[in-house]
Chains A and B, each alone.
Chain A
Amino acid sequence: MATDTEFLSRANPTFFKKHQKAYVKSLEDKHTTVEVVSDDPLETKMVLNMGPQHPATHGVLRVLLELDGERIVRNKLDIGYLHRGVEKIAENKTYQEFMPYTDRFDYLSPYSNNVAYCLAVEKIAGIEVPDRALYLRMIGSELARISSHLLWLGTMVMDAGAVSFFIWTFREREKIYSIFDNFAGHRFTVSHSRIGGVASDMSPTAVQMIKDFLDFFKKELERWRSILDRNRIFVDRNMDIGQIDADEAIRVGLTGPALRAAGIPYDIRRVAPYGKYSEMDFEVITRLEGDNLARYYCRMEEMHESVRIIEQCLAKMEKGPIRADNAKKAYPSKDEVYYSMEGMIHDFMMTDTGVCPPEGAECYHSVEAPKGELGFFIQSDGTGHAWRLAIKSPSFANLQGLEYILDGEMVADTVVLIGGMDPVMGDSDK
């Protein structure tokens, strides 16, 4: 009979003693209402630590697994290995100065984080954004969604065994990086979306690059689906693994494709549309099974819908200004700054004081990031610095769901499940 102090006495940590002991104790205390009465003379139970440095944990995630042979009896997740206190940093920076930090939350799709933050600040300060900027933001966000799902596909299928997918998806991602390099100035942590609009306009070369990429990508996606969708090995590895039904998914707080794969069609682009999404024609992909294979299908089809959205945006986009023209609300264009005195003073005031939302205002805005619902809750005290910036990060909620899903699975499925949930640790460990 495994006693309470059995694992604790064997653990002898050399650093962070209290933390390690508390963590192991919480693993033993998990499910204390369930009687685990089992005679264990052969000592088949063991505690396996999938440590923070691991090739397949998608970043620095630590999982303590208590195994009975090959089956996981209990598990606990330990996060915080990438915690930098970004909410604390936000209280000391003006709204515009905080833009580069938003890139680094979900660092697989930085553009959507930029857009989420800009929308939240624009909502609390009451700034109107011109149409062309909205379309550019949508194109950037959907390209970021494709890029994030491509990396998810490459790493999850590589963890399941097919290593060449990593190379193929990275080849496509390099094309997206070249597109971002062209119109946003940087390969991936772009900070292109600015408060009041976007930083710079899209040249015809970039538009042509996007069109070429989309043409090739549609065929490539079909080719990958033909390899994976009915592949005996892939389906066997993913079907009925990590099953969660709709009620449980809502109670646990899942979000994004994991929630839609369980049957709840909750997509912020439809529930609370922002930008021009209310005019776009796309489907919210929902599946009913709730297992890993359903999450895979959700994301693959979402990539397809993103391609459709980008094509519609490119067709509907018209020439126009790309940033709001208000002296107190948005930065001036660089031409004005260099060639006129008002522009220079305007630039200086915006950098010094920044956008000042009304005092006492509290506002929340969320977008549909590739991982789920990413939202910013801003409390303003009337100055250019936020008083409190609370971030609703999707990976935090999804990882909590992962802790519930992992119980009862085989240890070899851990890797596939982590891949299926697609957590990004920069996002979950704010």
Chain B
Amino acid sequence: MGLESALGEGFLTTKLDAVVNWSRANAVWPMPMGLACCAIEMMAFAGPKYDASRFGSEVMRFSPRQSDLMIVAGWCTYKMSHAIRRVWDQMPDPKWCVAMGACASTGGMHRSYGVVQGCDNFLPVDAYISGCPPRPDSLLNALIKIQDKIKKEHTVLLDK
């Protein structure tokens, strides 16, 4: 998108922005980092009753190279945190992260030596979901919030 230096923020780039953001928001493919009980609710979120594919998340891509959104579901231990960070680094931009459940957001009820008190200690999280485990409706709500966040991005007009 090399038009930005010539045109500046104008009609063409905001329309291109809108098109790009619209297509990105409606095809958010999650990468489930399903660690514990929240993973079961995440599977239910992909299951038949709370269908995630009607929101665009058609497949749960387990490969980080092919996904946009990482859903950290469950408590992260110190031992696992390195693997999670490595997987996050392998995801190509643009990428977003959702901390699902109390344990991923802040350590939850597990206030002990093995659990990282919140995965935002080593990951940049975009949406936090409360609940233990949160209902799949909450996860759908978070997905919609991520979609709203994507639609506000400026991708064509990049800062210099």
Direct contact of A and B (CB under 8 A): yes
Residues of A within 8 A of B (CB): 15-16, 51-55, 59-60, 80-86, 88-89, 100-101, 103-104, 107-108, 151, 166-167, 170-171, 173-174, 177, 187-189, 425-426
- B40 near A167 (CB under 8 angstroms)? no
Task: Take A84-B110, A167-B47 as given contacts and tell me if A59 and B62 are in contact as well, using a CB distance cutoff of 8 Å.
Answer: no
| Residue B27 at the chain A interface, CB threshold 8 Å | no
Which residues on the B side are within 8 Å of A171 (C-beta)? 47-49
Is B44 in the interface zone, CB < 8 Å from A?
yes
For residue A80, which residues in chain B have a CB less than 8 angstroms away from its CB?
A: 77, 79
A88 contacts across to B, CB distance below 8 A: 112-113
- The number of inter-chain residue pairs (CB within 8 angstroms) is 95
How large, as a class, is the contact surface on chain B? Answer: 20 to 34
Contact partners of B79 in chain A: CB under 8 A: 16, 80-81, 83
B residues less than 8 Å from A174 (CB atoms): 44, 47-49
Please list the 4 inter-chain residue pairs (A to B) with the smallest Cβ-Cβ separation, ordered nearest first.
A107-B37, A170-B47, A55-B62, A81-B80
Contact A189 B133, CB 8 Å, known A59-B36, A84-B77: yes
Contact A108 B40 (CB under 8 A): yes
- Residue of B80, B82, B110, B113 near A60 (CB, 8 A) is B80
Chain A binding site: helix, strand, loop or mixed by DSSP?
A: loop
B133 touches A89 (CB 8 A): no
A-contacting residues of B (Cβ < 8 Å)? 33-37, 39-41, 43-44, 47-49, 62, 74-75, 77, 79-80, 82-84, 87, 109-115, 132-133, 135
Report if A52-B40 is in contact (Cβ < 8 Å); known contacts: A187-B135, A189-B132.
Answer: no
Tell me if A85 and B36 are in contact (CB < 8 A).
Answer: no
Given contacts A15-B82, A174-B44, A426-B36, contact A82 B77 (CB under 8 A): yes
Query: How far, in angstroms, from A425 to B73 measured CA to CA in the complex?
Result: 14
* A408–B40 alpha-carbon span in the complex (Å): 32
Min CB distance A150 to B, Å, is 11
